[in-house]
Amino acid sequence: MSDLLSIGASGVRAYQSAMTTVSENIANVGTTGYARRSTDLSEISAAESFRTRSVLSGQGVSINGISRAADPFRSAEVRSAQSDLSRTSTGVATLERIDSSLTDYQLSDRLTAFFAAAKSVAADPSATGPRAAMLESAQGVASAFAGSGRALDAAANEIDTHAKQSLDQLNQLTGALAKVNSSLGRTAADNSGHAQLLDERDRILESMSKITDISVDIDTAGRASVRGGGSAGPMLVQGDIASTVSYSRNATGAVSLAVSRLGTTSALTPTGGELAGIVDGAQRIAAASEQLDTIAKDFVDGINAVQAGGNDLSGNPGAAMFAMSGGASTMTMPMTDPGAIAAAGPSGGARDNSNVANLDAFRTSGNIENRITDLVTDNASALSGRRAVSDVQTAIKDKATAARDSVAGVNLDEEAVDLLRFQQAYQASSRVIQVARESLQSLLNIG
């Protein structure tokens, strides 16, 4: 009877633990990063009596521990897909910012309007109305160049802010992973607490992969060693030691990422994640700013050169129409008097238009409008291509996530079946105990 009682008791304990695990799975069906768990059960092996050589019956069921459903290879695929998508998504956001900087101020349209207004002055150089319209359109051009330049400067500052926020998060994640590693080294495997730590480890690794591409090695205790920028990159986390990553950007848009660990500094060169997108984006913004500044300078120099080659309505030498102390963002139009437009040639009178006609020649030689159009079109083409890549990478990541979740995710239908099965087994084990007690009581009553 004692064997029957112990067998029944072992079943009650085992299936109570199994029901607890199933209940935990059901409760966390919506928890991000939760991996399904199961209670590992095994038979308590029968013993053989060496005195009588008779085989004794089994001793019930034992709990070996809590196992966690996870596939490290599929998790690695999710991290890789996440890094690729994050880089592309960051690049898309940057290209969209450049596009809005170049188009929101209608620079191309205002340039066209300015040259059209110059033709109106050439048609009637002594009239005040066309001159006033030309100055107004010139002011529009200066405002559009300056606005586009400032918008690109703001985009560069936003890149810096984004980078610092990403690095703050990355440094927090590396610190958190170091703590998880430390806890994993002190926690026995095959229990619920160990499974929770592994879930947290994988959540941290996936979050890190969004910021930069990482190479991960897992030891037998489940601790993760992480390198940034690929398997040959600097160590971000090893054991309970976390590195710190810093950021800087120079005037040409070149980004530098430095990893500091135990007094040693190494360069981080990300090929994936937000940081790789930031590196690309900073260079694209700098290139767009440089091109815009060059076009703006050529425009200012060309228009002012035409002005200097003629006389204004009062017969005075033409003064500069535009000014630019730095990049495109500094462009202004100091001219306020319509009569200051140098329409006439050096020896022409009020009705002479020989000099203002030179603006049409500069329009062709300077090619300002087409250069602005090319700048906008090239960026738009890159943006379209990057969006197409993003769509493909989104599908790849979704597929990788689904594959991982097919192993690690909680299926409520399966859990409901297991819950019912373990409940019945628990009740049956309880009945075994009850029968053993009743049988024992009967024997006592006979005695």
Q: Do residues 83 and 181 share a domain?
A: yes
Domain that holds residue 327: 106-151+283-375
Q: What is the pLDDT of residues 14-52, one digit of tens each?
A: 999 999 999 998 999 988 889 999 999 888 876 544 444
In a domain, 196, yes or no: yes
Q: Do residues 268 and 186 share a domain?
A: yes
Q: Do residues 394 and 259 share a domain?
A: yes
Q: Do residues 88 and 212 share a domain?
A: yes
Q: Do residues 303 and 395 share a domain?
A: no
Most confident region among 184-188, 192-196, 275-279 by mean pLDDT = 275-279
DSSP string covering 165-197, please?
A: HHHHHHHHHHHHHHHHHHHHHHS-SSSHHHHHH
| The pLDDT of residue 435 is above 90 | no
Q: What is the pLDDT of residues 367-387, one digit of tens each?
A: 999 999 999 999 999 999 999
Q: What is the pLDDT of residues 218-248, one digit of tens each?
A: 999 999 999 999 899 999 999 999 999 999 9
| The pLDDT of residue 6 is above 90 | no
> How far, in Å, CA of 311 to CA of 181, rounded?
79
Q: How far is CA 369 from the centre of its chain?
A: 35
| The pLDDT of residue 447 is above 70 | no
Q: What is the pLDDT of residues 113-135, one digit of tens each?
A: 999 999 999 999 999 999 999 99
The pLDDT value given to residue 50: 45
Grade residue 358 by pLDDT with cuts at 50, 70 and 90: very high
Question: By percentage, how much of the chain surpasses pLDDT 90?
Answer: 76
Section 163-167 average pLDDT: 96
User: Looking at 172-311, which runs of residues are DSSP E strands?
Assistant: 214-218, 224-228, 235-238, 241-242, 244-249, 255-261, 264-267
Structural element, H or E, at residue 43? strand 37-43
Question: How many domains does the structure of the chain reveal?
Answer: 3
> How far, in Å, CA of 39 to CA of 280, rounded?
48
- Provide the CB-side half-sphere exposure for 45 (13 A, CA): 2
Q: Do residues 85 and 186 share a domain?
A: yes
Q: Do residues 47 and 88 share a domain?
A: no
Section 80-94 average pLDDT: 97
pTM check: above 0.85: yes
Kind of pairing between the strands at 323-324 and 331-332: antiparallel
Q: What is the mean pLDDT of the chain?
A: 92
Q: Do residues 275 and 389 share a domain?
A: yes
Section 323-335 average pLDDT: 96
> How far, in Å, CA of 381 to CA of 173, rounded?
36
In a domain, 219, yes or no: yes
The pLDDT value given to residue 52: 47
Q: Tell the burial category of 152 from Cβ atoms under 10 Å away from its Cβ (0-12, 13-18, 19+).
A: buried
| The pLDDT of residue 59 is above 80 | no
| The pLDDT of residue 64 is above 90 | no
